[in-house]
Chain A
Amino acid sequence: GQQLNQSPQSMFIQEGEDVSMNCTSSSIFNTWLWYKQDPGEGPVLLIALYKAGELTSNGRLTAQFGITRKDSFLNISASIPSDVGIYFCAGQPMEYGNKLVFGAGTILRVKS
């Protein structure tokens, strides 16, 4: 089945630093999504990408849909303490309609 490789597994950064994480797959995806999950809560959608090459921003967050349709990255600029959480990439494989496949997550810790 489809598998998403998400990296890094975890990050411990200083407040104010920029953060970058990415997801890759051997399969082609129609859609790439980035979610954030806080402890005890469900994932919340941050950014959705629908076209190869698309670059989308949401405040301090920027994400891109890779041109090969097999990868995506998420950047967070000027991190703040409330950015702490687990970030998941998720993709909708080309041949599976709106089924979502998730990466294993990137744990972000911010030191103030």
Chain B
Amino acid sequence: EAGVAQSPRYKIIEKRQSVAFWCNPISGHATLYWYQQILGQGPKLLIQFQNNGVVDDSQLPKDRFSAERLKGVDSTLKIQPAKLEDSAVYLCASSLGILAGEGDTQYFGPGTRLTVL
């Protein structure tokens, strides 16, 4: 079974530029997550989708970050404009979407490493 796919793997941009990341979850997974992982820290949830609806975006900096999952499958995360502190690895994860409880394991993609100069 194919895992979570992400692209690009690496991206270097200058501050104030825009950037977009793409994620293709595991087939059949209803829930999709975007995490930000700053060097030396654990992943922090930015946004969670259930199919094409947003479940939780409480930690998404909405003045510059946006995400969509229009058809309930692939998702894109955009940053516009980027700041130096946005340098991090952006991880996408997906899960079956069973209601909270046993079995709703999140599977992570390899991430996109963003460097903002």
Contact = CB atoms under 8 A, between A and B. Distances in A.
Interface in B11-70: 31, 33, 40-45, 48, 56
Nearest to B43: A102
Interface stretch (A12-20, A39-47, A67-75): A39-47
A99 interface: yes
A98 interface: yes
A43 B100 contact: no
Contact of A90 (B4, B42, B107, B110): B42
Most chain A CB within 10 A, of B44, B95, B100, is at B100
B45 to A, nearest CB: 6
A92 B105 CA distance: 11
B31 A42 contact: no
Given A42-B4, A44-B108, A50-B102, A103 B93 contact: no
A43 B108 CA distance: 6
B109 A42 contact: yes
> What range describes how many residues of A lie at the interface?
20 to 34
Contacts of B41: 104-105
A48 interface: yes
Given A99-B48, A99-B56, A104-B42, A45 B100 contact: no
Nearest to B106: A100
Given A30-B100, A98-B104, A105 B109 contact: no
Interface of B: 4, 9, 31, 33, 40-45, 48, 56, 91, 93, 95, 99-102, 104-111, 113
17 contacts: A4-B42, A6-B42, A31-B102, A35-B108, A41-B111, A42-B93, A42-B109, A45-B105, A45-B107, A48-B105, A50-B101, A50-B102, A92-B100, A97-B99, A102-B43, A102-B44, A105-B42
